[in-house]
């Protein structure tokens, strides 16, 4: 009897402990996604979860205000391009890292020089490839020598490039590489930063816990942390995430399936909102004829495909809350994204007429490659079938599709891209149209415009060049932009935090109501 009572009591304790972890009364904010984190160091991963945590625990030189999109002083107090390739920054004094050491110019030079090194294994090279080297001019002043004029540099120096203390990577584990060689696993080192939250615990693939940094500097544009503890944990199954958020085991989830959004918003304890993301869904058409003799090389065929697809219906009815029709081959939040380009309204009759003009009155048959969301690809296929284009759907995993793209085997590819979260068109349009393996247009003029835009510091001139390139891409219907993915968020009603269109979660701004 005593025993069973003890078991029962400890069980009740355990349950209350488990379910009361999250929430306002414990000042512990628990958020969950289905991603298993592969590193806590954003330089060595490209997951949103790592970036969200990096924004909370780390500071970059600059801060991009997520609401106004303006650059603000963070670890740097002022900055200036002294010539086309030299950026000088004055640094903030009196800032301390979470391990107690003082922040100064040596730390900036160390961190940026480490990741800019071609052998650093840094994941998103574009963020640092522009850096030739970084010098500490004096204790609170650094000079970044760029390899070439880099107009997007300020963007690259925001939260995506946190500053670590000098010598930070010295303890990176040595692990076996190929053929008995050794390599350093830099990404295994846990970040030490200056941000509003301190890293308390990281379990790879499972969870990451942050605690408020009471010594965070007063006048940071990110503000002092309000919530005591932020816990990230991976919950793979969406149904389980929903069950947890409904019962208060978790305070915040995103990617709520459209069929559950309504049910969740009827719950008294949750706020449900939708917002677009940076991920675009589009068709890549082989206009350059990389796969050989294909109808895709004919402009009329490409325009017919564009007219055949009911993008509004797919975005609104299928993809659901937060999704938007994509007008141009870039994410609208990105700098330089010209959306005032030629549109191809849904018009199956016109599509058939264009196909007939191109010499395909009875349509044709073509392999169609896709990898991400089968339902969306099938909706596109249905629209194409309605105008006489028969498709053979090859639905593959990304890692199987990618080599086919590189090896000139994809006539029509239904692809998606999130620009690695970079808010500049150089990360999206330039990725696809500057002659790389993903470029199935191979338009020399577009390539030249984009390359010039990517290195022009004059912002108006840049915009004009991107606009020219995006206009030609649309006129030629090289790629068919379909929709921007949307995302539905569900979170604890007691939580006050801004949902932003940059597909980020700025939890350092969050407060309990």
Interface residues with other proteins (CB under 8 A) are 11, 14-15, 17-19, 36, 38-39, 46, 121, 123, 125, 175-179, 183, 185, 187-188, 203-206, 233-237, 239-240, 243-244, 246-247, 249, 396-400, 402-403, 406, 417-420, 431, 436-437
Q: What does the block give as tokens for 348?
A: 């199956």
Please tell me the total number of residues recorded for the chain in this structure: 513
What are the DSSP calls for 208-271, one per residue? EEEEE-TT--TT-TT----SSEEEEEE---HHHHHHHHHHTS-SEEE---HHHHHHHHTSTTEE
Residue number, 140 or 417, with CB nearest to other proteins: 417
CB of 398 to other proteins, least distance (A): 6
- What would the DSSP string read from start to end of 330-345? S-TTSBT----S----
Say how far apart CA 296 and CA 286 lie, in whole Å: 5
Smallest separation, CB 48 to other proteins (Å): 12
Least distance from other proteins to the Cβ atom of residue 501, Å = 19
Q: Which is nearer to other proteins, 65 or 121 (CB)?
A: 121
CB of 480 to other proteins, least distance (A): 19
Compare residues 82 and 397 and give the one whose CB is closer to other proteins. Answer: 397
Question: Whole-number minimum distance, CB 337 to other proteins, in Å?
Answer: 17
Please state the closest distance from residue 157 (CB atom) to other proteins, in A. Answer: 21
| H helices present in 277-396, as ranges | 299-308, 311-313, 348-357, 374-386
Comparison of 17 and 375: residue with beta carbon closer to other proteins: 17
Q: How far apart are CA 277 and CA 326, in angstroms?
A: 11
Closest distance of CB 385 from other proteins, Å:
28
Closest approach, Cβ 35 to other proteins, in A, equals 10
User: In angstroms, rounded to a whole number, what is the distance separating the alpha carbons of residues 468 and 462?
Assistant: 10
Residue 433 to residue 350: CA distance in whole angstroms: 28
For 401, the token pair is: 């599709």
Q: Residue 333 CB, nearest distance to other proteins (Å)? A: 17
Nearer to other proteins, 76 or 337 (CB): 337
Nearer to other proteins, 119 or 293 (CB): 119
Q: 236 or 385, CB closer to other proteins?
A: 236
Q: Toward other proteins, which CB reaches closer, 223 or 403?
A: 403
Alpha carbon distance 200, 197 (integer Å): 9
CB 223 within 8 A of CB 104: no
Integer Cα distance of 96 and 63 in angstroms: 18
| Residue 70, number of CB atoms within 10 A of its CB | 9
Query: Are the beta carbons of 422 and 429 closer than 8 angstroms?
Result: no
- In DSSP terms, which residues pair with 414 in a beta bridge? 283, 370
CB nearer other proteins, residue 342 or residue 404: 404
CB 139 within 8 A of CB 104: yes
């Amino acid at each position: 009897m005593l025993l069973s009572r003890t078991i029962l009591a400890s069980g009740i304790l355990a349950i209350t402990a488990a379910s009361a972890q999250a929430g306002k009364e414990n000042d512990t904010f628990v958020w969950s996604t289905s991603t298993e984190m592969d590193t806590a160091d954003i330089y060595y991963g490209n997951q949103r979860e790592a970036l969200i945590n990096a924004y909370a625990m780390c500071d970059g030189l600059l801060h991009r205000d997520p609401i106004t999109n303006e650059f603000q002083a963070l670890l740097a107090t002022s900055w200036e391009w002294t010539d086309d390739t030299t950026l000088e920054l004055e640094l903030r004094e009196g800032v301390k890292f979470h391990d107690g050491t003082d922040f100064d110019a040596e730390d900036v030079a160390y961190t940026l020089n480490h990741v800019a090194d071609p052998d650093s294994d840094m994941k998103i090279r574009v963020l640092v490839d522009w850096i030739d080297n970084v010098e500490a001019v004096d204790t609170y002043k650094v000079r970044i020598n760029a390899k070439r004029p880099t107009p997007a540099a300020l963007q690259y120096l925001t939260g995506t490039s946190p500053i670590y203390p000098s010598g930070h990577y010295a303890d990176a584990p040595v692990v076996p590489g190929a053929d008995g060689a050794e390599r350093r696993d830099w990404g295994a080192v846990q970040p030490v930063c200056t941000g509003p939250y301190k890293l308390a615990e990281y379990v790879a693939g499972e969870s990451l816990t942050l605690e408020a940094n009471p010594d965070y500097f007063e006048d940071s544009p990110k503000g002092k942390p309000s919530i005591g503890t932020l816990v990230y944990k991976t919950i793979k199954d969406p149904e389980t995430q929903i069950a947890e958020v409904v019962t208060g085991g978790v305070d915040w989830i995103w990617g709520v399936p459209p069929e559950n959004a309504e049910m969740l918003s009827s719950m008294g304890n949750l706020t449900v909102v939708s917002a677009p993301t940076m991920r675009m869904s589009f068709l890549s058409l082989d206009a350059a004829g990389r796969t050989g003799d294909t109808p895709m090389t004919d402009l009329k065929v490409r325009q017919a495909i564009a007219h055949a697809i009911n993008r509004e219906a797919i975005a609104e009815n299928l993809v659901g809350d937060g999704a938007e029709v994509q007008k141009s081959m870039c994410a609208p939040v990105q700098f330089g994204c010209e959306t005032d380009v030629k549109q191809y309204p849904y018009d199956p009759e016109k599509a058939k007429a264009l196909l007939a003009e191109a010499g395909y009155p009875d349509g044709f048959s073509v392999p169609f490659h896709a990898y991400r969301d089968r339902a969306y690809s099938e909706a596109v296929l249905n629209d194409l079938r309605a105008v006489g284009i028969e498709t053979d759907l090859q639905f593959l995993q990304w890692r199987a599709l990618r080599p086919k793209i590189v090896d000139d085997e994809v006539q029509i590819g239904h692809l998606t891209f999130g620009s690695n979260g970079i808010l500049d068109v150089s990360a999206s349009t330039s990725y696809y149209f500057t002659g790389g393996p993903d470029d199935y247009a191979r338009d020399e003029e577009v390539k030249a415009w984009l390359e010039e835009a990517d290195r022009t510091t004059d912002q108006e001139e840049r915009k004009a060049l991107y606009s020219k390139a995006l206009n030609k891409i649309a006129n030629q219907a090289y790629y068919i932009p379909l929709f921007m993915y949307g995302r539905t968020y569900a979170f604890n009603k007691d939580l006050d935090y801004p949902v932003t269109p940059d597909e980020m979660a700025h939890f350092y701004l969050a407060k309990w109501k």
